[in-house]
Structure 1
Amino acid sequence: MKIVVRVKLEPSAYQADALAATLRACNRAANRISEVAFATGEKRRVGLHHRVYRDMKDTSDLSAQPIVLTIKKVCDAYATLKANIRAGNLGPKGSKRRNKAESKPVVFREDAAQAFDDRCLSWQPDARTVSIWTTAGRLKGIGFVCSEAAAKLIADRRQGESDLVFRDGSWYLFATCDIPAPPVAEPTDWLGVDLGIVNIATTSDGQVLSGRRLERHRKRMRALTAKLQAKKTKNAKRRLKAIKRREQRFATDTNHCISKTLVQTAERTSRGIAVEDLTGIRERVKAKHDQRYRLHSWAFAQLGAFVQYKAERAGVAVVHVDPRNTSRQCSACWHTHKTNRVDQATFACRACGMTMHADINGSRNIRHRAADAWQRGAVNRPSTA
């Protein structure tokens, strides 16, 4: 399985200027290549390479291999755009958002990330330094900081390209590492997990992982941001810059803690994990105006990704089930009706009279559906032991 390891670079002032100039040169070249790809309709790497390579070599500050990597970046961007259109992520045909995306070339920011392969970037994990190609020449001895575990992964398991990223005034390298995953054993039972906004995750065992702490943090950050934006002073702008992404980091840490708890519980009890397939939930759900911020701040996709990769590393099976009527169906008698869901927290079956927490009832329905979904092959089942 592949995981991404992030390290923070510590360049000198001269090295930081050279890295910034390199990103600008790569992304300006990417924009020119993107215009050619859009005008000619050539989105394949080989065809686009023949059209733009010689011109880029003569007119840009890039050497041969960075030009090749930049062409690949442009082709990958158009492939991603095509996949999003095909999946309906940009709306139906003729929609304003889709027309806007299809009517102009893909544009890259001047500080957008750039990939470097082993010809342009070399690692020295023991010395905690990297050597990287820039438009000012090869820079050697750029220090980086990371944990001992991350350094060992980079030394032993790093594969492919690494991405140079400039974010919030700091420089990072993202390295892809391929680590062996243990075989996934055939589960005998499942841990159902119901995902939500008020309660981020609720298990079929009755464990409720609340989102109140995260919700309080979001409200506090929204109020602070609005207050600083209203002042419009230099100090307020500096403060806004300092707290940027703080809510995102807090939500990411919360999802890491929750996913770790779920995977440890399933691993300890030799069960698989069953979660809802919430793909496209934002497009399907119609929220009131005051609830849209909460819905769009709901990082369920990130939580699902964290559960997936942590489960793979632990050898725990993960299955995605159909979420329809999991909140309306009684987990005891299977009676399904919308009136069974009394309110956000209460479930009361109109047929058998069973009452319980609504999220626990939903998680038990997810658990009941997991075995059928696994046996039917409704998901891409990993290799089993």
Structure 2
Amino acid sequence: MISYVKIVTQVKLMPEADQAAALRSTLRTVNEAACWVSKVAFERGVPREYELRKHAYAELKARGLGAQAAQHVIKKTRDAYTTLKANIRAGNLGGEGSKRRVKAESKPITFRPKAAQPFDDRSLSWQLDAQTVSIWTTAGRLKNVGFVCSPDALKVLREHRRGESDLVEREGVFYLIAVCEVPEKPVNENPADWIGVDLGLVNIATTSTGYRAAGRGLNRHRKRQLDLRAKLQAKGTQSARRRLKQRSRKEARHTANVNHIVSKTIVTIAERTGRGLALEELTGIRDRVRLRKGQRAQLHSWSFHQLGSFLAYKARRVGVPLVYVDPAYTSQQCSECYHIDRKNRIDQATFACRACGFLANADDNASHNIGRRAEPVWIAGRESRVPDSP
């Protein structure tokens, strides 16, 4: 059976003035309706989606929403409460009685006027050759709405688009974010070796093959953005606020681009050499690590999860096996004699073993430790997938 990896492909819509007004009005209307449905759900104890339809569908139709749009508004609202419940269960909003959790649980979920709205193939159709879409709005069906994207994105849309697409407005520009299901290559069940990947702040990623993605440029970019935001916020003028809004997503876009480049490079090396990838299990690192106040902004603005997720889905697309290993003592253990000592780590960049005298870059040493721990984890996972004998 063929397995698929889900990715999203984004295109930029190029509507005429009247089409843009219709799209903007539609987003505002459906999100106002979602806020109303959220209030109904909250008052009734957040019932299941089918029951919620009984209380909300007729009113949504009366507000001018089409049948598919009304269904999607109800589903979007119910999914938001499901996500909230999952975050509470995972402890992401603090423990029971915490201020943040109490605030989240004490009122209905609200939706921004420009929040994304899903469209299925009944309410949105693609004309890929002409690079236009036909989309439902509260003002009627809009046809021949142009869009632009890269040739690679168009190829992915043509071959792999499946399911829903989200309409979203950012800074006055409309985008469609389409779900694509790309077939995975068969996983290499017998990798020749394992590449350990050490993630960090000074070096974004260091591999046991010698590849190192220095974080100096990205950290400088973040520092410049932080200083500029502080200056604009202190100024407080209308033009400063407008400038802040224009730059609101610049750092996130830049970071995502860097993470895409780094992850693609690492996965390409693994694919070309027939090896697998090993990463540290970093879940909850922000809660475990204790840093000085000046270092907290750097840690919390660094996207550990994003780079890890990019590595995971790119590896799945090309059949590169990937495992997560226990991160304990990877920075304190010698990769030559396996001696563990906190004093082995001289400073951020230097590792010197107290037992055998091995000297190396600290991140290089950690990456070799991570790679060595991969094989037992892979074997255990592979054995667990074997079905029981009849």
> Is the structural similarity TM-score above 0.5?
yes
- Alignment match of 1:156 (pick from 154, 159, 180): 159
CA drift at 1:208: 1.8
Equivalent residues, number = 381
For 2:373, what is the secondary structure of its paired residue?
helix
Is residue 11–residue 143 contact of structure 1 (8 Å, CA) maintained in 2? yes
Q: Structure 2 regions of 5+ residues with no counterpart?
A: none
1:106 maps to 109
Is residue 334–residue 340 contact of structure 2 (8 Å, CA) maintained in 1? yes
- Alignment match of 1:203 (pick from 204, 207, 232): 207
Q: Provide closer, same or farther for how the CA distance between residues 311 and 47 of structure 1 changes in structure 2, counting only shifts above 3 A.
A: same
1:10-65: CA deviations, max 9, x gaps? 1111111111111111111111111111111133111111121122223x121211
Is residue 199–residue 208 contact of structure 1 (8 Å, CA) maintained in 2? yes
- For 1:274 and 1:329, the matched residues in 2 are separated by 17
- Alignment match of 2:242 (pick from 217, 221, 238): 238
2:345 maps to 341
Greater alpha carbon shift after TM alignment, 156-165 vs 244-253: 244-253
For 1:377, what is the secondary structure of its paired residue?
helix
Is residue 374–residue 381 contact of structure 1 (8 Å, CA) maintained in 2? no
1:166-219: CA deviations, max 9, x gaps? 112210000111121110112121000000011000111232211001111111
Counterpart amino acid of residue 146 in structure 1: C
Is residue 277–residue 322 contact of structure 1 (8 Å, CA) maintained in 2? yes
Counterpart amino acid of residue 119 in structure 2: F
- Alignment match of 2:14 (pick from 2, 10, 14): 10
* TM-score where L is the length of structure 1: 0.95
- For 1:290 and 1:169, the matched residues in 2 are separated by 36
- Alignment match of 1:289 (pick from 293, 305, 311): 293
Is residue 185–residue 315 contact of structure 1 (8 Å, CA) maintained in 2? yes
Q: Provide closer, same or farther for how the CA distance between residues 122 and 312 of structure 1 changes in structure 2, counting only shifts above 3 A.
A: same
* TM-score where L is the length of structure 2: 0.94
- Alignment match of 1:135 (pick from 138, 141, 147): 138
- For 1:46 and 1:2, the matched residues in 2 are separated by 26
- For 1:216 and 1:380, the matched residues in 2 are separated by 45
Is residue 325–residue 370 contact of structure 2 (8 Å, CA) maintained in 1? yes
Q: Structure 1 regions of 5+ residues with no counterpart?
A: none
Percent of residue pairs bearing the same amino acid type? 59
Greater alpha carbon shift after TM alignment, 18-27 vs 240-249: 240-249
Q: Provide closer, same or farther for how the CA distance between residues 69 and 259 of structure 1 changes in structure 2, counting only shifts above 3 A.
A: same
CA drift at 1:381: 7.6
Within the alignment, does 1:72 sit opposite 2:71 as a pair? no
- For 1:126 and 1:230, the matched residues in 2 are separated by 49
CA drift at 1:268: 1.5
Counterpart amino acid of residue 288 in structure 1: R
- Alignment match of 1:92 (pick from 71, 88, 95): 95
Counterpart amino acid of residue 48 in structure 1: L
Within the alignment, does 1:170 sit opposite 2:173 as a pair? yes
Alignment of 1:117-136 (within 5 A): 117-136=120-139
2:258 maps to 254
Is residue 46–residue 81 contact of structure 2 (8 Å, CA) maintained in 1? no
CA drift at 1:70: 0.5
Q: Provide closer, same or farther for how the CA distance between residues 71 and 175 of structure 1 changes in structure 2, counting only shifts above 3 A.
A: same
CA drift at 1:228: 2.6
- For 1:347 and 1:357, the matched residues in 2 are separated by 6
CA drift at 1:378: 8.8
Q: Provide closer, same or farther for how the CA distance between residues 37 and 298 of structure 1 changes in structure 2, counting only shifts above 3 A.
A: same
- For 2:385 and 2:162, the matched residues in 1 are separated by 25
For 2:183, what is the secondary structure of its paired residue?
coil
- For 2:194 and 2:74, the matched residues in 1 are separated by 45
Q: Provide closer, same or farther for how the CA distance between residues 381 and 368 of structure 1 changes in structure 2, counting only shifts above 3 A.
A: farther
CA drift at 1:229: 2.7
Is residue 319–residue 379 contact of structure 1 (8 Å, CA) maintained in 2? no
1:137-161: CA deviations, max 9, x gaps? 1111100001222223222321111
Q: Provide closer, same or farther for how the CA distance between residues 111 and 118 of structure 1 changes in structure 2, counting only shifts above 3 A.
A: same
Q: Provide closer, same or farther for how the CA distance between residues 226 and 378 of structure 1 changes in structure 2, counting only shifts above 3 A.
A: farther
CA drift at 1:380: 9.6
Counterpart amino acid of residue 278 in structure 1: L
- For 2:86 and 2:75, the matched residues in 1 are separated by 16
